[in-house]
Each structure stands twice: as structure tokens, then as C-alpha cells.
Amino acid sequence: MTAHTDTASAPAPASSGFDNDNRQAATIGDAARDYVNRLRGGDMGLLPAILGLVALLVIFASLNDRFLTTYNMANLVIQASSIIVLAMGIVFVLLLGEIDLSAGVAGGACATITALMLIDYDWTWWMATLAGVAFGAVIGLAIGSLVSFLGIPSFVVTLAFFLGLQAVPLRLIGSGGSLRFNDPVLRGMSIKNVPVTAGWIAAIVIVVAFAALSLWRYRSLSAKGLVHAPIGLVVIKIAVLAAVVLGLTALLSANRAPNPDLFDISGVPWVAPVVIALLLFWTFVLTKTRFGRHLYAVGGNAEAARRAGINVQRVRIMAFVICTSMAALAGLLSASYTGKVSPGSGGGNVLLYAVAAAVIGGTSLFGGRGRAIDAVIGGLVIATISNGLGLLNQAAYINFVVTGGVLLLAASVDAISRRRRSSAGV
């Protein structure tokens, strides 16, 4: 088989959703018609998740006047952070059509390792953090190797690790015990804010950098005669990003203290730039690196990817390593929020919420389609449901029912979209 044939047989990385930006459209009207055609063909993208998030915001704001206060919005960002980070890791596994049932408890085990390094060995926060993330990477390496080399279904392997990893904090902490998570830096991720001036500078830098990259990309593609979006659409994207980033910065920079005359609580929570940095990094990995292209190819058609010369086993292992490493970071953010690590950390519904966030955001359960931004939008939906119902003093079971219904709706949209794409030959 020739190299040309192998390359042609490999699935195109169109499933990432970013290639649509390169389709030729002379005017904004052409771009709008192209977008409508993609929707009709089943390429829904982030639209269902964004519409769902907007609907939830409107509903809860109309039912409780405290929901859209700056104080509650900051709490919402903090509450969503650990779910979002864990969901980002889950996205990599779901892209392969696999699952990791152990990610939640893996995060709890890694947070336990970090807490012990801080308390018992007096390590610096960054060394203890590296130890926890390294432990997570080792877990992912073990899971990925068992799945890739022995061919054991990921459901079985990760279920075994789900059971086994719960022993780590139980053995190290003891039943009913807990470890304080009060390092000034790590604890400050949830309880401290970026200085207002620094927050504004960062927001402006993000907008300017995005605008510069977008315009440079447009000019480069145009000069080379390659397909590109119309300049009007590029300007609209820049304007929307600027409105969102600068608007949120202005909102969170205001003093949101319950009694502003006595003390000041202002600035973007530190978890926000952490989540943004992870989003930008993993988006770059998925869209601009060879590993990202290989990941989509394996998720789309593993056999065709193998014939095209892609090391399928290595891609699978790396996906699980990334997943559990992100689980470690999510465990640290969760411990930062609660201020402690206990044997139950990472258990309960943590994993289920993360998987739900990824799917609600638009990542396909069938593999091959998904982006890091899916985890952010889906995580905000999950956190909004919990936060809004909490303000309405609803019973806990209502939260489960609503979240389950939203997840079922998202999975249905995914299945219907997949069927439409298949019928359209995409």
C-alpha cells in the first residue's frame, strides 16, 4: 500500500470542529448560510450548550434576584473550576470513544499525596503539586498500558482503578480523618483574587493577542490564496470575545463584599486564569499539534489511523495520562475550595458531573468529536444548575433530576447530530 493510499484512508481531522473556520465565504451572509447548512447537516457545535446555559441564566435570574449578583457569579466560577478541569481531561478519553471511571477518585488520591508532602515533609507548594500530578500521570500510564497492550476494555480497567484508588486516601488519612489544605498559594486559588489592575491588564492582553492572531491568520491565508473566513466575520469574533472578557473582568472587579463599607472583595478569582491557561494550552494541543490530529484520527477510525502509520497504542496511553494528570489538578482545586482532603475526596458524583459536563458541552460519546472548550461550557451548565437550585432552596434530589435530564437531552442531541452527519456523508 502506498503512502498516498494510507494517507487518504485516514479520517480527516474535521471532527475537531475548527476546520470550519477555513471554509471559503466571501461575505458574512455567505458565512451565515454556510453555518446554517452545517447545522442542518448535524454539525451543532457549541450551539445547544450555549443556548442551554443562557436559558438557565435567564430562568434562575428571574426566580432569584441574588443569582446574577457579582458575589454569586464569583462563587459560580469557583464552584465550576474543578468540574471544568476534570472534564477537560475526560474529553481526551472520550475523543477515543473510551471512558475513565477512575478519574474522580484519582484526583482525590493525588490531592492526598500533595497534602501529605505539604504537611509531613514540608515541601514547597510547587514541589508538592508536581508530586500529585506525577502520581496522576503514573495512574494514567498504568491504565493506558492495560487498555492498549492487553486489550482490556477501558470500562473494566478504570472500574478496577476506581475501586483500588479509594484505598489510597483511606490508608494514608484513615477512616473519618482529614488533612488540612491550607497552603497560602494552593488554598488561595479559591479564596483569593487577582489584583484588579493585574486582572484588567491580563484581560486587555488576551483581547489584543486574539485580535492580532486572528487578523494575522486572515492576512496570511488571504495572501496565499487559501480558504478563509470573511474579514467581517473575523471582526465579529474579536468583538464578541472582547465583550465577554472585558465584561466579565468589569463584573468581577467590582467590590462584591456583602458589606462593602467594612471590607473589599474584588478581582477575578485566581482559579479563572488557571482554567483559561489550561483551556488555551489544550486547545493548542488539539488543534495545532501532530498529537492532536492523531487523537482525532484514532477516535474517528482507529484501524484507518493505524494503516496511515499512526501509533494508536501510544495515542491511547497519552490520552489516559493527560486525563489522570488533569484529574490531579482538579483534585487540587477541589481541595483548595473545601480546605481539606478526606477519604471521600473525588468520590460521589464528581466523575459523573465531569462526564456530563463534557457531553453537555458537545463532546461526542462515540469518539472523534470534541474540544477543550466543551468542558468549560458544560462545566458552567452543571455548576449553574447546582448554584441556581441552591439559591432557590430546592431539595437535593431536584438537582439530580434536572442535571440528569440535561445530560440525557445533550446525549440525544449528540446521537441525532451523528445520524444526520452520517446521512449527509460527513
- What pLDDT is recorded for position 15? 45
Question: Is-contact 380 87, C-beta < 8 A?
Answer: no
SS3 state of residue 391: helix
Pick the range with the lowest mean pLDDT from 73-77, 193-197, 361-365: 361-365
With a CB cutoff of 8 Å and minimum separation 6, the contacts of 158 are 99, 100, 101, 102, 103, 143
Average pLDDT over residues 169-173: 93
Average pLDDT over residues 319-330: 98
C-alpha cell at 387: 448554584
Average pLDDT over residues 37-63: 84
Within the chain, all domains assigned CATH 1.10.3470 are found at: 3-189+271-423
- What pLDDT is recorded for position 426? 53
Question: Is-contact 370 210, C-beta < 8 A?
Answer: no
Residue 78: how many other CB atoms lie within 10 Å: 20
Could you write out the three-class secondary structure of 201-256? HHHHHHHHHHHHHHHHHHHHHHHCCCCCCCHHHHHHHHHHHHHHHHHHHHHHHCCC
pLDDT greater than 80 at residue 14: no
Pick the range with the lowest mean pLDDT from 21-35, 51-65, 108-122, 243-257: 21-35
pLDDT greater than 70 at residue 406: yes
- What pLDDT is recorded for position 423? 67
CA distance 299 to 201: 39
Question: 67 or 7: whose pLDDT is higher?
Answer: 67
274-293 confidence digits (pLDDT tens): 999 999 999 999 999 999 99
pLDDT greater than 80 at residue 425: no
Question: Within 13 Å, how many C-alpha atoms sit on residue 297's CB side?
Answer: 26
CA distance 426 to 417: 11
With a CB cutoff of 8 Å and minimum separation 6, the contacts of 409 are 52
Average pLDDT over residues 167-183: 91
Q: Among residues 169, 127, 154, which one has the least CA distance to residue 355?
A: 154
Average pLDDT over residues 189-201: 94
- What pLDDT is recorded for position 207? 95
Question: 145 or 368: whose pLDDT is higher?
Answer: 145
The position carrying cell 470513544 is 97
CA distance 402 to 383: 12
pLDDT greater than 70 at residue 216: yes
Residue 135 pLDDT grade (very low, low, confident, very high; cuts 50, 70, 90): very high
Average pLDDT over residues 263-275: 93
pLDDT greater than 80 at residue 16: no
Average pLDDT over residues 167-178: 90
pLDDT greater than 60 at residue 125: yes
pTM of the model: 0.89
23-48 confidence digits (pLDDT tens): 455 677 777 777 777 777 666 777 88
Residue 233 pLDDT grade (very low, low, confident, very high; cuts 50, 70, 90): confident
Question: 222 or 329: whose pLDDT is higher?
Answer: 329
CA distance 368 to 251: 37
Average pLDDT over residues 211-215: 93
Which one of 1.10.1740, 1.25.40, 3.90.25, 1.10.3470 gives the CATH number of domain 3-189+271-423?
A: 1.10.3470
Question: 160 or 414: whose pLDDT is higher?
Answer: 160
Residue 159: how many other CB atoms lie within 10 Å: 15
Question: 400 or 18: whose pLDDT is higher?
Answer: 400
Average pLDDT over residues 65-73: 91
